[in-house]
Amino acid sequence: MTPTAAADPILVGAPTPGELQDQLLATTWGQGGRGWRIAFAIAGALTLLLFGCIAYTVATGIGVWGNNVPVAWAFGIINFVWWIGIGHAGTFISAILYLLEQRWRTSINRFAEAMTLFAVIQAGLFPLLHLGRPWFAYWLFPYPSVMGVWPQVRSALPWDAAAITTYFTVSLLFWFLGLVPDLATLRDHAPTRRRRILYGLLALGWRGSATAWRHYRAAYLILAGIATPLVVSVHSIVSSDFAIGLTPGWHSTIFPPFFVAGAIYSGFAMVLTLVIPTRAAFRLKNVITVRHLELCACLLLVTGLLVAYGYTVEYFIAWYSGDEAERYQFFHGRPFGPGSFVFWAMLACNILTPQLFWSRRLRRNVRVLFVASILINVGMWAERFVIIVQSLQREYLPSGWRGYAPTWVDLSILAGTLGFFSLLFLTFLRLLPFVAVAEMKELRAELAHEDAAHRGPA
Amino acid sequence: MSSPSPSLAEPLTDVLTRVEIRRRDALKLLGAGIALAKAGCMQAPGEEVLPYAHKMPELSPGAPLWYATSIVLDGYATGVVVESHEGRPTKIEGNPAHPASLGGTSAIQQASILDLYDPDRARVVELAGMPSSWARLAEQLGALPPGPLWLVLPPQSSPLVAGLIARIREGHPGTRVVYHAPLGRGAAYRGAVHAFGAPLEVQLDLTRADVVVALDADLLGAMHGAVRWARDFAARRHLDAPTDTPVRLYAIEPMVTPTGSLADHRLAAPARDVLPVATALLSELGRRGRPVPPLPPVAASVGLPPERLRWVRAVADDLIAHAGRSAVVVGDRQPAACHALGHWINAAVGALGATVRLTAAALDEPLGDATLADLAAAARAGQIGTAAVLDCNPVYASPPALAIEAALRAVPLTVHATPQVDETSRACQWTAPLAHYLEAWGDARALDGTVSFVQPLIRPLYGAPSTVEILAALAGLRGKTGRALLREPWRPRLAAAGPAFDQAFERAWTAALGDGFLAGTAAPALPATPTAALPAALVAELDRALAPPADDRLELALAGSPAVHDGRFADNAWLQELPQPMTSLTWSNALLVSPRLADRLDLADGTVVRIRSGDRTLLAPALRVPGHADGSVTLELGYGRRAPDQPIADGVGVDGFALLGADGALIVPAVDLAATGQRRRLARTQLELDDHGRDLALAARLDDYRRDPDFTREHRGPLPSLLPVPERTGLQWAMTIDTTICTGCSACVIACQAENNVPVVGADGVRRGRAMHWLRIDRYVARERVVHQPMLCQHCEMAPCEYVCPVYATSHSPDGLNEMTYNRCVGTRFCSNNCPYKVRRFNWFNYNRPETTAALQHNPDVTVRDRGVMEKCTYCVQRIRGAEIQARMERRDVRPGEVVTACQQACPTGAIQFGALGHADTPMVKWRQQPRAYAVLHDLGTRPRTMYLAAIRNPNPALDNDEDEP
Amino acid sequence: MTRLLAEYPTADALVGAVRVLRDQGYRLEAYTPYPVPELDRALAAPRSRLSYAAFLLGIFGAAAAYGGQWLISAYLYPIDVGGRPLHFPLAFVPITFEMGILATALGAFAAVLVLARLVVLWDPLFEVDGFASATGTGFWLEVRAGEPDVDADIRADLAATDPVRIAEAGGPP
């Protein structure tokens, strides 16, 4: 199963530090190709659509969305949970894999962390937007108010506010700290004065002294250490938005681990969706190798199975509880009720797709990976739709049962966040080295040492 | 915009002749309201009205005053008490002392307050579309062109109007009067003529009834005595203990009515099959040795299907078993023959003089003078000089065959006095706005004959005359105010002649207006017994009616809408959005069909059907109603208005009058249905009638209840919990609702809407599931058995909505209320998701329209909610706090029963009881201690403060089978 | 004071030079494009104390969060929500945890900025031509010199470790 590094390297060839650096920095110096410009234009247009719809919603009222009673939460919260979930892969890769000393993380962690940040930015829009009175969103945070009332911290929503804020801040610090040495490199090798000033400011005057490196590594280790429980806690708390409620289909203790697994699942899917075209476009196949993709696929398989387990337990408990509302929810409402096709799509995408990755050949087939990753992203969105909308459609009192249909605004906002996300991501690709240069040099050095060690006795 | 001086009525009209007024002007109007209160209701020169309260408080800002007046519908008066804030009437409540109300009201009466402020009201007198003036019209009415005068107006029971019409007839010999009421009761009176030789009125005394049989009679819902009858019926239906024996109710009807939904044995049958059943019932009684007249041979030929025969026999036995304590009630739309047979049945079971009393009719000329058909004929023949159509809309609400519009156009002088410009206005030369009853003086009789007074609470907003004033003008009485006109005839009647006459009269007058009616003026019961033999006319009618139908084609049963009646309330947004009993349909009517028939014709809800009756056709969306008779389809009247001046009513639903035969009979014997391709999305509030086997609305048969009184044990009592049980001291508010006597009439829904400034959201809003009613009536239908469950905020002691709110916008008060703090709400809607009862309502848009006159109806004691905030039932907290303040001022505790919520107040049957748990001797507390009390979704541990009493049915063992068990 | 700098082609060369010069008792500092673990040992640098700062801040953040929650929901505004306890430890856990994490992260970040002497706009080293390679492919060694007269010896000793080049920079600003 696990090929030796030699047979299946995580860094192809033995580039000199100079070559490596030039290759990795080239993405920031070079012109974005035509493809990049087209993508940027599309992303820009969708972003405008997003902010247009936001303005329309805030000006007219949340009623322009399809929400109703009983389905008082719909696309807004679905998108929120989906984007937050995607935002989990980055921290997982850079923190947990760092602690586990998984070298292969080096080539993709910067990339994944950026993805995390941008995804969390999208997610962060929705807790505000879905409010009836968004302009009072700050009431969820504690501040000495003349109204003399503070947030109600027994509710899961202030927990959310705390978790999302923390997660964004920590991810940003972690990402930026990792960037500092590379920013210094950019500063020292920038072709133009304007860039030198820009990167110079961002580099905070990094000189790479041994002392600095010592504290730097300590700080990086601590951030990695705390980001690991954080990444688990964030989606657990998000899941409690539902788990503390008594809606059939929400009130479930499996939710925290189930949500975390789903989050990492969708996160890695998104990593693949992004990394596959990028490595091709910027000719980095020697740095981000098939080995990396294969390892992501393995993680998809694992988390996919965890998610499948989650579904199974949900169904078992629904049956075992004997609660007729729960049973109806899972055995009638979801599979046959309104919007049931989403439920079946969810099963197909989330359960069947990852089974492909039992086969090494398919794991290493880039096309298959790309399509599969997109299917899984769709599947995870569908999962949130099922959990949120379908649960609310079929609650305790049949008299209150009602279906749900999104409006064009709902759809536009979803598309818009995809555009906004891509916009940020495309900008990042051109502005910063999306593979950690310093770490790659370090990795290269370590690999060189090992090769020497291998050859030594021979 | 011009800024009118608020204290005069004239500039007021300037302001209000615009449909929309700005907030500033609305405030001015409010000021004007105060002035008008003084002018119209308090001591103003020459105009004096005294409030209902015997001890009248000063008009202190913020403290509402209460005035007694009467609502008259189709000629029958119901006493009401109107809440007035600074001279601005805001809320209608039943007059507890008035025999037709006993405190209850109907949904329509509750909603009538909105018509006063309807922005679409007629505002100016128009001649051929050009603005004119009331003075000119009065002039014109004083000098009519040659040719007889025809009056078209609703049925009248007003002594004042009777007097005026008499004077008009003197002044204009040959005057004819058409008492126009599409839902009139002519058949009932003709039936009485068959039986007694006179158009007598049936007075039910249900407090003494053990068995009631409703023959297509919605005696608890739509009929004119319903509000009172429902209260009496409930008194016999409610159980205090399993040992009680509630009244047993049989019903035969095509469409499920509130009455039918409560029936212990409901026979779903086409309306045309009611007469055969009545005939069979009468002959069965005869066969059992009761005194019945010899029936014509055709009666013997009536062959009922076995299960109906079984039903009839069981009913006959039960009626006899409870002779003297049973009653048969016949519905207004049934033919005269059926009413006549009803009288003989009642006579045969000893009901006459016991549960059924007969009195003189409350209406003047109950059999009518002329008919619309006469009018049409005379008009075409050019034999009408003047046609004055007052307060009715014959062009819309009449058989198309009569072509009333064309007829009116053929009349030299036509005048239409109407609250709103409508179809008839377009056919008349003069259009005059008509005063709302809250702006007018008058009198009328209740169904039982009690004289009731109509007194204004506000000077006419648009200076419009009342029907009485127009009639006075026709009678040549110029320049007399309504008040003067009313006092004049009452002077001799209210006080005995003598030296102190004036003081005596004023005292009596004051007292009468204070009470709103004259006690003891009910018509005396007449010792009436039906003739020994059926009169020839009746026999002839029976021969015609009982002849077996040529084919078994579908019957179309037309019915008045429980919301918009015959269409006159179609511009009332509250009534349009009122979920109709049984169908929860809003903003439209529909062709109501039984599921079996729907399957046969392949009709889904909303499938547009082409209804053909003779050469008349109509397209209407179909709607399945479990329990509807298979051989019949029902269409409610009052929709499909073509009135551009009534934007709310215009084009909503389909016009059932288009299918009305020339005779105006509401039972159209033979129609054909054909499904068209089209589909219409109906706006309904409840889509699921099946309770999916969940014990939500509990019900039991009486004998099961007696066998196991504790059958709701699973649904109440303490539950284990990890959390400590909250300790709350002091008065603890709570509600108990008896589903045994809830008819689902929905008066409470409108009452709540009026009291709590609940907005309407329109058909699309309802379709999207955004209806705002704080109180809805859930219905669960199991085996064609309906249980009505009024569902409002349950005020859970462990409220799941509260702990999920991130900003303390909903929290618990020390006295056990689940409170909303609108200002705190940011609109996360988590509370709605977490409410298992789904009673929370969200302001998806800004539904509040301060710029229209309708905003003047708002209750100043209740916050008008802004966009983006959650809202829900508050147990009428404003009334609770009001009572507490009153108690504190009087240095006492709040008295048991002092706080009455709007829904409780309006409920005709008294099914809703509210109060403090500490007040042990109130019904609210006693009820919830009954073994049949239960909490909805008890096992969730929310500990709701609202408890329900299970619906107890009292089926007849002879007819009972397990299918009846709910 | 002045600083003498020497560039070496590889990390190993740098580490070798450090070992030699330390034995001669020089005060040394090294500049590398990526962390070289051997350097710390060669320089005998103490373990970073940064983690203590982060830890303390973390504890403080968590404690403050819990205290704050108790204060606003049980003490300042004891409002009855759904009959739940006013002091509800279970419900206070998530925010306490998150705030602990947040404080730790901010602490660690602030500490590294201080300890690694970051957030400076200029340093004499930037004036040294070729020093840019310290963030690229070069490995630099710095010797802190005292009086000028010892300079010669230092240069000699440096040259003995055959660097690629030797340069001079002013003292830190």
Each domain of chain B, given as residue ranges in start order, spans 186-360, 549-684, 736-953
C11 and C68 belong to one structural domain: no
Q: pLDDT tens digit string along B60-69?
A: 667 888 899 9
Q: What is the DSSP letter of A209?
A: B
- Is B807 close to A151, i.e. CB distance below 8 A? yes
Average pLDDT over residues A7-12: 69
C137 and C157 belong to one structural domain: yes
Residues of C (36-65) whose Cβ lies below 8 Å from A: 36, 39-40, 43, 45, 48, 50-51, 54, 58, 65
Average pLDDT over residues B592-610: 93
- Is B833 close to A66, i.e. CB distance below 8 A? no
* Banded model confidence at residue C1, pLDDT cuts 50, 70, 90: low
Q: Helix H segments across A322-436?
A: 324-328, 334-336, 340-347, 360-363, 366-385, 391-393, 408-431
Contacts of C86 in chain B (CB under 8 A): none
- Is A151 close to C72, i.e. CB distance below 8 A? yes
Decide if pLDDT at A393 tops 90.
Answer: yes
Average pLDDT, chain B: 88
Domain holding C97, by residue range, is 50-115
What is the rounded CA–CA span in Å between residue B737 and residue B927?
A: 8
- Is A213 close to C32, i.e. CB distance below 8 A? yes
* Banded model confidence at residue B300, pLDDT cuts 50, 70, 90: confident
Q: Does B318 touch chain C (CB under 8 A)?
A: no
Helix/strand/coil percentages in chain C, nearest 5: 55, 15, 30
* Banded model confidence at residue C145, pLDDT cuts 50, 70, 90: low
Asked which of B698-702, B730-734, B938-942, C36-40 is least confident by mean pLDDT, the reply is C36-40
Average pLDDT over residues B676-690: 91
Decide if pLDDT at B23 tops 70.
Answer: no
Unique residue bearing structure tokens 């049956």 = A319
Q: Does B812 touch chain C (CB under 8 A)?
A: yes
Residues of B (832-851) whose Cβ lies below 8 Å from A: 832-834, 836-838, 840-846
Closest chain A residue by Cα to residue C84: A154
Percent of chain B with pLDDT over 90: 66
Q: pLDDT tens digit string along B466-516?
A: 999 999 988 888 778 888 899 888 888 888 777 888 888 888 888 888 889
**Min Cα separation A298/chain C (Å):** 30
- Rounded alpha-carbon distances, angstroms, from residue B682 to A254, B129, B763: 40, 36, 8
C133 and C146 belong to one structural domain: yes
Q: Helix H segments across B268-371?
A: 274-287, 297-300, 306-321, 336-348
Decide if pLDDT at C168 tops 90.
Answer: no
Average pLDDT over residues B708-719: 91
Which of C115, C139, C157 corresponds to the end of one domain?
A: C115
Q: pLDDT tens digit string along B613-628?
A: 888 999 999 999 999 9
Q: pLDDT tens digit string along C81-116?
A: 988 899 999 999 999 999 999 999 999 999 999 988
Tell me how many residue pairs between chain A and chain B have CB atoms under 8 A apart: 158
Q: pLDDT tens digit string along B32-62?
A: 444 444 333 333 334 545 444 444 455 666 7
C87 and C106 belong to one structural domain: yes
What would the two tokens of residue B428 be? 């008349």
Q: Which of A16, A21, A152, A153 to mutate to test the interface with C (most CBs of C within 10 A)?
A: A153
Average pLDDT over residues B771-791: 90
- Is C135 close to A185, i.e. CB distance below 8 A? yes
Q: pLDDT tens digit string along A86-115?
A: 988 888 888 888 888 777 788 888 888 899
Decide if pLDDT at B926 tops 90.
Answer: yes
pLDDT at A455: 66
- CATH superfamily for domain B186-360: Dimethylsulfoxide Reductase, domain 2 (3.40.228.10)
Beta-strand pair B632-636/B554-559: parallel
Of A208, A233, A445, the CB nearest to C98: A233
Q: Which fold has domain B736-953?
A: Alpha-Beta Plaits (3.30.70)
Return the higher-pLDDT residue of A129 and A16: A129
Counting the structural domains of chain C, the total is 2
What would the two tokens of residue B588 be? 């439209």
Cα Rg of chain B (Å, integer): 28
Contacts of C77 in chain B (CB under 8 A): 808
Average pLDDT over residues A164-192: 90
pLDDT at B16: 36
pLDDT at B268: 92
Contacts of C34 in chain A (CB under 8 A): 181, 213, 438-439, 441-442, 445
Domain B549-684 has CATH 2.40.40.20: yes
**Min Cα separation A238/chain C (Å):** 11
Q: Which of C86, C109, C114, C141 to mutate to test the interface with A (most CBs of A within 10 A)?
A: C109
Work out the widest C-alpha separation in chain B, in whole angstroms. 88
C93 and C58 belong to one structural domain: yes
Decide if pLDDT at B921 tops 80.
Answer: yes
Of A142, A150, A209, the CB nearest to C29: A209
Average pLDDT over residues A38-58: 95
Unique residue bearing structure tokens 């009291």 = B755
* Banded model confidence at residue A208, pLDDT cuts 50, 70, 90: confident
Average pLDDT over residues B736-743: 94
* Banded model confidence at residue B343, pLDDT cuts 50, 70, 90: very high
Average pLDDT over residues A287-306: 89
pLDDT at C150: 58
∠ Cα B549 B552 B553 (to 5°): 110
**Min Cα separation C108/chain A (Å):** 5
pLDDT at B2: 39
pLDDT at A452: 75
* Strand ordering across the sheet containing C165-170: C28-31, C139-145, C2-8, C165-170
C41 and C62 belong to one structural domain: no
Average pLDDT over residues A167-190: 90
pLDDT at B64: 85
pLDDT at A140: 87
Q: Does C90 touch chain B (CB under 8 A)?
A: no
Asked which of A229-233, A289-293, A315-319, B313-317 is least confident by mean pLDDT, the reply is A289-293
pTM score, two decimals? 0.90
Decide if pLDDT at A404 tops 70.
Answer: yes
The set of chains that have 3 or more CB pairs under 8 A with B is A, C
pLDDT at C149: 52
Residue type, C6: A
What is the rounded CA–CA span in Å between residue B328 and residue A15?
A: 103
Q: Does B869 touch chain A (CB under 8 A)?
A: yes
Percent of chain A with pLDDT over 90: 55
Q: pLDDT tens digit string along B162-181?
A: 999 999 999 888 899 999 99
pLDDT at B399: 92
Average pLDDT over residues B552-578: 92
C42 and C58 belong to one structural domain: no
Average pLDDT over residues A333-348: 92
B374-382 contacts, C-beta under 8 A, 24 or more apart: B374/B176, B374/B178, B375/B150, B375/B152, B375/B176, B375/B178, B375/B404, B375/B407, B376/B402, B376/B403, B376/B404, B376/B407, B378/B148, B378/B150, B378/B176, B379/B407, B379/B408, B379/B410, B379/B411, B380/B406, B380/B407, B380/B410, B382/B410
Work out the widest C-alpha separation in chain A, in whole angstroms. 80
pLDDT at C130: 83
Average pLDDT over residues A125-143: 90
The set of chains that have 3 or more CB pairs under 8 A with A is B, C
Decide if pLDDT at C147 tops 80.
Answer: no
Q: Does C96 touch chain A (CB under 8 A)?
A: no
**Min Cα separation C79/chain B (Å):** 7
pLDDT at B59: 62
Q: Does B814 touch chain C (CB under 8 A)?
A: yes
* Banded model confidence at residue C48, pLDDT cuts 50, 70, 90: confident
Q: pLDDT tens digit string along A416-458?
A: 999 999 999 999 988 888 888 888 888 888 887 777 776 655 4
Q: pLDDT tens digit string along B251-297?
A: 999 999 999 999 999 999 999 999 999 999 999 999 998 888 988 88
Q: H or E segment at C96?
A: helix C89-115
C43 and C83 belong to one structural domain: no
* Banded model confidence at residue B10, pLDDT cuts 50, 70, 90: very low
- Is A215 close to C104, i.e. CB distance below 8 A? no
Write the secondary structure of B21-88 as one string of H (helix), E (strand) and C (coil): CCHHHHHHHHHHHHHHHHHHHCCECCECCCCCCCCCCCCCCCCCEEEEEEEEECCEEEEEEEEEECCE
- Is C94 close to A189, i.e. CB distance below 8 A? no
- Is B808 close to C84, i.e. CB distance below 8 A? no
**Min Cα separation B804/chain A (Å):** 4
Unique residue bearing structure tokens 């640098």 = C45
Average pLDDT over residues A116-135: 92
Of C48, C120, C122, the CB nearest to A215: C48
